[in-house]
A and B are shown apart, each in its own frame.
Chain A
């Protein structure tokens, strides 16, 4: 078989391996919307019609053809600010989910693999974080460090690692006890091989699902902190902080409405992806493809 044929063959196999995610139309919508926002984040300077930070028109203009989302209390174009806001929320959410999952998976993996007092220490530590609402802890962290976007990101990382840690620990433990790992060890596979070949693939799927769902949660939590004045501050073009400014100008509803809709659309997109991925990966819910 030619190299190209092999590539196509691989492509087809890869395609078949994730059938439900593709045959579920809502997952495709989620991927499309999330992809669109990713493009907006990349190309905001090109596609935004106006400067997000400089006044470009009269104050408090209702939505019109010139300014589809209206203008705000300083005369800035709300559409441009919403588009630029994607450059704040999406990269930061990726960053903090990456950080939280690195920490969480490492600690959870160690707890599950080593067991004993390490397990006990890490998981009881994680319990503490589950007992207190995330936003309260995050507020306390930002309160201690001082308000600011970077501190808000740190705070969300600090409160987000226990979720993946708990899941990874459970998965590692059940996989390690499974027969196929026992067989692999029995035929002489070293620990490192048993971990990478047998355990890792069984952990990776569910963790991907969780990470997609947590992207949405991360954006929500980060924008909530900014709304409370603990994260991004005006004049930054950040969605939560824009909603907060909009809250002080009820008669100009467009100031807070559109940044909020931006949050809803991007979070919903990630949740749609995560929800259909869960249907695919979760062995306990059998999903019949093609809507049967």
Chain B
């Protein structure tokens, strides 16, 4: 964690007249810790993105795969002229460092390259897929957070009793169930047997997509006042989001339980109980307020789990999002798309963790940015 409790401040005891550049920098930093903190993390973001592109390049060139043959098909792949033209067009005839340089130069101009599977710019593909995944991921977090935290508090208060042990098994089961299997079991019961939910996609074929504002169908349909489309979108959203939430419900339950147990050990909780405050006041006012920040720190991790889950769940529910797109990219060795998807995930990861850290500092003022 890059936030620590009051650690040594970076200013050094020097007289003002002999202040060096470094000391001036340090003084500035101590005056505006948050700005410097955010700036440093943003610089780290740039380096991380650079690293991710490099890693993706190395990965996809581990084995000299014949990209041209893979994308041109059997007929054109055996035509030397077609292969040469293809390689020249995508710079594949150049040595790898040159290819990397060309890619980075394009990236600086916001150009992620052209996807080899769709023939469209990767940026356009991502822009089309991200809202679908975002809607799914956000919905699943909205489901997982309150349920997981409630169960975690209950488990902590009933520590080592039967309720706690049952919740321990259930939460660990949520984290032990393969998401692809859970998705199929859910589809089997709620779609195949009961017919309660539609099987796949974001909307029934009868409904047109709502006018594009955010790309999230639920929000866009509400903005346009199309309640029937909103209902249909929610109907499609519930099952995949619930499947995605299962793992995180388990994670939040386990984590909240240990965070609450930590807080319950404190003297002020004992004092509150000793002076006769009822549990329904102690839990929200004394316990949850202190246990909140540690639980918040795993929201970033939980979001990563959702992103991993989307690869499997989107493929099963035919959900046109990043998960399906990245599966198609990886299996066709579509380098520009793979790098684009990885960049997207890296940026989400950093921004999310940065927001969590900042929020952490806002909620718990004892924490100071270093």
Contacts and interface: CB of A to CB of B under 8 A. Distances in A.
Interface of A: 25-26, 124-125, 127-128, 130-137, 139-146, 216, 220, 223-224, 227-230, 240, 243-244, 246-247, 250, 253, 256-257, 260, 263-264, 267-268, 271-272, 275, 284-286, 288, 291-292
Contact of B59 (A131, A137, A291): A137
A145 B333 CA distance: 10
29 contacts: A128-B55, A130-B349, A131-B48, A131-B349, A132-B342, A135-B308, A136-B345, A137-B342, A139-B327, A139-B330, A140-B60, A140-B330, A141-B62, A143-B330, A143-B331, A144-B62, A144-B63, A145-B62, A216-B176, A220-B178, A223-B178, A228-B311, A250-B192, A263-B181, A264-B176, A268-B173, A272-B169, A275-B168, A285-B258
B90 interface: no
Contacts of A228: 311-312, 315, 327
B56 interface: yes
Interface of B: 47-48, 51-52, 55-56, 59-63, 65, 160-161, 165, 168-169, 172-173, 175-181, 184-185, 187-188, 192, 254, 258, 261-262, 265, 304, 307-308, 311-312, 315-316, 326-327, 330-333, 338, 341-342, 345-346, 349-350
B312 A264 contact: no
Given A243-B180, A271-B172, A145 B308 contact: no
B178 A227 contact: yes
B184 A264 contact: no
Given A146-B63, A285-B258, A263 B178 contact: yes
Contacts of A286: 265
Contact of A131 (B187, B331, B345): B345
A285 B60 contact: no
A128 B262 contact: no
A281 to B, nearest CB: 14
A142 B330 contact: yes
Nearest to A251: B192
B14 to A, nearest CB: 26
A273 to B, nearest CB: 10
Contacts of A146: 63
Contacts of B59: 137, 140-141, 144
Which 10 residue pairs are nearest across A and B when measured between Cβ atoms? A260-B181, A139-B330, A267-B176, A268-B176, A131-B346, A143-B330, A133-B308, A291-B160, A131-B349, A128-B51
A179 B315 CA distance: 53
Given A250-B192, A256-B184, A263-B178, A133 B48 contact: no
A126 to B, nearest CB: 11
Interface of A is mostly: helix
B160 A292 contact: yes
Contacts of B312: 135, 224, 227-228
Nearest to A146: B63
Nearest to B303: A133
B363 to A, nearest CB: 21
Contacts of B172: 268, 271-272, 275
Interface of B is mostly: helix
A243 B169 contact: no
Given A131-B52, A144-B333, 20 more contacts: A127-B48, A128-B52, A132-B52, A137-B59, A141-B59, A143-B331, A143-B332, A223-B178, A229-B331, A240-B180, A243-B184, A250-B187, A250-B192, A257-B185, A260-B178, A263-B177, A264-B178, A271-B175, A275-B168, A285-B258
A134 B65 contact: no
A285 B156 CA distance: 12
A224 B332 CA distance: 18
Contacts of B333: 143-144
Contacts of A272: 169, 172
Nearest to A139: B330
A176 to B, nearest CB: 19
A52 B176 CA distance: 26
A292 B349 CA distance: 40
Contacts of A137: 59, 342
Given A128-B52, A223-B178, A284-B262, A136 B63 contact: no
A125 B304 CA distance: 18
Contacts of B180: 224, 227, 240, 243-244
A139 B331 contact: yes
Contacts of B181: 227, 243, 256, 260, 263-264
Given A256-B184, A275-B172, A144 B61 contact: yes
B357 to A, nearest CB: 15
B194 to A, nearest CB: 13
Contacts of B258: 285
Contacts of B48: 127-128, 131
Given A130-B349, A250-B192, A136 B178 contact: no
Nearest to B54: A128
Contacts of A288: 160
Contacts of A131: 48, 52, 345-346, 349-350
Nearest to A265: B176
Contacts of B160: 288, 291-292
B176 A250 contact: no
A253 B249 CA distance: 26
A29 B262 CA distance: 27
Nearest to B322: A136
Contacts of A142: 330
A144 B188 CA distance: 34
Nearest to A247: B184
A292 B61 CA distance: 57
A268 B333 CA distance: 34
Contacts of A247: 184, 316
B278 to A, nearest CB: 24
B152 to A, nearest CB: 14
